[in-house]
Chain A
Amino acid sequence: MPLHRQFANDGKELIIAIKGKFDFGLVQEFRQAYSNVGDQQPTVFIDLRETEYLDSSALGMLLNMRKSLGKSVKGIHIINCRPEVRSILDISRFDKLFVIE
């Protein structure tokens, strides 16, 4: 499964992990993954530990997520980025829009 979605800490955190390739091929699945975040205002964690490849469509999908979730979540964290992924996010100035750790 390239996308894995799981609530943790009694619904206070939503973890979405993407494995392998993160691009437009996941566009529906990714939207689905954050479509129902509940009313607990969770923090969303995008876990990229196993993301090998991504392109600008993935960046677009992340921005769309941010736009669509707005205040219904406490924040969006992008976690466990491999160094190459991290530098792509940095060049795109994603650190201003997401918490990258």
Chain B
Amino acid sequence: MHVYVIDDGSDLARDVNAQLRSYQLFAVSTCSIEQVATLSAPNEKVLYLVVAGEKAQVAQISALLQSSSTQSILITDSPIVFQQLGQFATDALLWPLASNLLQQRLNYLHQLQVAHDQLDGLKQSLAWHKARVDREHQLVEHIFQNALSRNYLEYAHVHTYLTPVSKFNGDLCLIAPGPLGNIYMLMADFTGHGLAPATGALPLSQAFFAMSDRGVSVAEMVTEFNYRMSRLLPDDMFCAAILLELSANGERVTYWNGGMPAALLFDEQGEILKRLSPAHMALGVVDDDEFDSRVATFRAPKGSSIALFTDGVTELLGHQHKFLGSEALEMLLSKYPRTEDFTSLVDELERFRGETPLHDDLSLAILSCRPTGLGEVKVEPEQFGLPFVFESVLHPEHLTTVDPVAHILSALSQLPHLRRHRTTIYLFLAEAFNNALEHGLLALDSAMKQDPEGFAEYYQLRLERLHALQHGEIRIRVHFEPNSKELTVSVSDNGSGAAEISTSPNFTEKSHGRGLELLRQMTTDLHWDSETRTVSFKYVL
């Protein structure tokens, strides 16, 4: 600390200066009040020691003290000056002083200054940290928003009330349409709340959306979720979850519940029809081999709804310091069973809570079991591309080692306009190819397939004869004409068996003969050329 004695030239000033210098505590400079303004700022903190005798220039000193933020001690021997100026200085002393009082005051102010500086530093570093945390939260929020941007919360037949304790939600409520007009819904609750559990939501939601797109089964989805969670989460963290699938017609419900409160199926009168109780451990608790993916299914009656919720709802603390409880929740659902009552239901929950702060994330979603109205995924109308011819000549080394039809299809279905028809094209090719192979080259007799035992034997024999096959070839030719959208297929063999295709209909409930019947019904210009042993047909996309 550097002490500036502002000297008014009085005897008092001389005494104060002498006393001060005798302490040898701080750097001391002396100047007149006029010189104060010209002082250059020193590196260390400054203290003004303003000495004002009886004849002091009160107005000038008052102006200095009031305008400067520098700490100051006023020393005067005049009670009048003390009265006039004392209030403007940090500290004011009436001369003469008890011994050492000035030294004590200076030390005290010095310590105050040091503490003040430390506090300032802490404040600044706190402000810096806060800005940094805010920025990081913004980034993470942005990532969450993007990760969950696909969440189909606006689906018309679902109502949600989702309230996190903090900015980040440890609960997860995800909705996604499947490719068959079905809808998937996942409600999950990670241990704890805030940012840490919310991070688990990222991989879970990515898996959920990707698998919904593919339309995979509930059992397979939860197996994948558990695989991811058990590798990702620390031992003391897991994720309770209920995954539910509603079929396109709104009737068939398949669910898996691991550690979540029982979801409730209720009808329009508010009667609880079924509790979808947890039958499994939460996700991330057990390893793959112990994991139980068994699902439960039921038929949802017309007009019924399913309420899914986290324990944040039943453990909602009310303004009377009581938990809501599951009975009260069921009563509320009975009171407000219809979809249009949802806001009233939420109002009641909020009334119950009053001003009490939330202590856990709270999620409630009600799904109406009715036809989803989503339809199957529509494929954009495509430009039909280039004409092409595909031909493959297959010999025993190909026939015995690969599945030629699957190979050809995996190539053809790369073409966008054929992709949509891959199942049908596969069927045609498989029927024609198997006819040429099984009857033409391997001389198998379909009559064997009359009964289930013979059916299996037939395919056993197919396998044996195929492995013994030394000679023979099958030629598959596919010709695509984009203008007429016509696919022409021909399959030839050079065997001697009865590969001939009869073109007269022969439709029965027998286990065989179905393949050719399908060809007859679904294709045009079905033709057998006995000269070239070729089956040919056309199919319009």
Q: Is chain B found bound to chain A in the same assembly?
A: yes
A25 to B455, CA, bound (A): 12
How many angstroms between the C-alpha atoms of A52 and B180 in the bound complex? Answer: 13
Q: Mind listing 12 A-B residue pairs with CB under 8 Å?
A: A4-B219, A6-B293, A15-B295, A24-B462, A47-B217, A53-B409, A59-B511, A79-B252, A82-B423, A84-B423, A88-B424, A91-B522
Smallest CB–CB gap between A100 and chain B, Å? 12
Cβ of B439 to closest chain A Cβ, rounded Å: 13
A-B contact count (CB 8 A): 120
> How far, in whole Å, are A82 and B376 apart by their CA atoms in the complex?
9
* Whole-angstrom CA separation of A49 from B376 in the bound complex: 12
Closest to B219 in A: A6
- Cβ of B214 under 8 Å from chain A: yes
Interface residues in A12-54 (C-beta closer than 8 Å to B): 13, 15, 17, 21, 23-25, 27-28, 31, 45, 47, 49-50, 52-54
Q: Shortest distance in angstroms between A83's beta carbon and chain B's nearest beta carbon?
A: 6
Q: How far is the CA of A21 from the CA of B247 in the complex (A)?
A: 23
B324 at interface by CB-CB < 8 Å: no
DSSP class of A's interface residues: helix, strand, loop or mixed? mixed
Interface string of B415-440 (1 = CB under 8 A from A): 00000011110110011001000000
B132 at interface (Cβ–Cβ under 8 A)?
Answer: no
Q: Tell me if A64 counts as interface (CB < 8 A to partner B).
A: yes
Are A85 and B521 also in contact (CB < 8 A) when A13-B297, A56-B515 are?
no
A6-B219, A91-B518 given; A55·B431 CB < 8 A = yes
**Closest chain A CB from B529 CB (angstroms):** 22
Q: Which residue of A lies closest to B413 (CB)?
A: A52
- The reply to whether the CB of B449 lies closer than 8 angstroms to some CB of chain A is yes
Shortest A84–chain B CB gap in Å is 4
Min Cβ gap B374→A in Å is 14
B452 within 8 Å of A (CB atoms): yes
Other CB < 8 Å A-B pairs besides A9-B297, A53-B423, 10 of them? A4-B219, A9-B296, A9-B298, A28-B456, A55-B426, A56-B427, A56-B431, A79-B247, A82-B376, A85-B423
CB distance from A57 to the nearest CB of B (A): 7
Q: In A45-79, which residues have CB < 8 Å from any B CB?
A: 45, 47, 49-50, 52-57, 59-61, 63-64, 67-68, 79
B216 touches A53 (CB 8 A): no
What 1/0 flags go to B194-225 for Cβ under 8 Å of A?
A: 00000000000000000000111101100000
Give the residue name and chain of the B residue nearest to A12 (CB). B297
Contact between A101 and B247, CB atoms less than 8 A apart:
yes
Interface range, A side? 35 or more
Chain A residue numbers with a CB within 8 Å of B179 are 82
Contacts of A15 in B (CB 8 A): 219, 295, 297
Contact A8 B423 (CB under 8 A): no
CB of A83 within 8 A of CB of B430, answer: no
Given A8, A45, A56, A68, which contacts B514 in the complex, CB threshold below 8 Å?
Answer: A56
Tell me which residues from 502 to 516 in chain B have a Cβ below 8 Å from any Cβ of chain A.
507, 509, 511-512, 514-515
Any B CB within 8 A of the CB of A7 = yes
Q: Are B215 and A50 in contact (CB under 8 A)?
A: yes
Residues of the B chain whose Cβ atoms lie less than 8 Å from the Cβ of A13: 297
B459 touches A27 (CB 8 A): yes
Residue of B nearest to A1 (CB): B220
Question: How long is the Cα–Cα vector from A92 to B431 in the complex, in angstroms?
Answer: 14
Contact of A101 among B252, B297, B422, B452 (CB under 8 A): B252
Is B406 on the interface with A (CB-CB < 8 A)?
Answer: yes
A7 touches B294 (CB 8 A): yes
- The yes or no answer to B182 lying at the interface (CB within 8 A) is yes
Query: Which of B365-404 touch A at CB < 8 Å?
Result: 376, 403
A71 to B249, CA, bound (A): 28
Take A6-B219, A9-B297 as given contacts and tell me if A88 and B456 are in contact as well, using a CB distance cutoff of 8 Å.
no
- Known contacts A7-B294, A53-B426, A55-B430: does B247 contact A68 (CB below 8 Å)? no
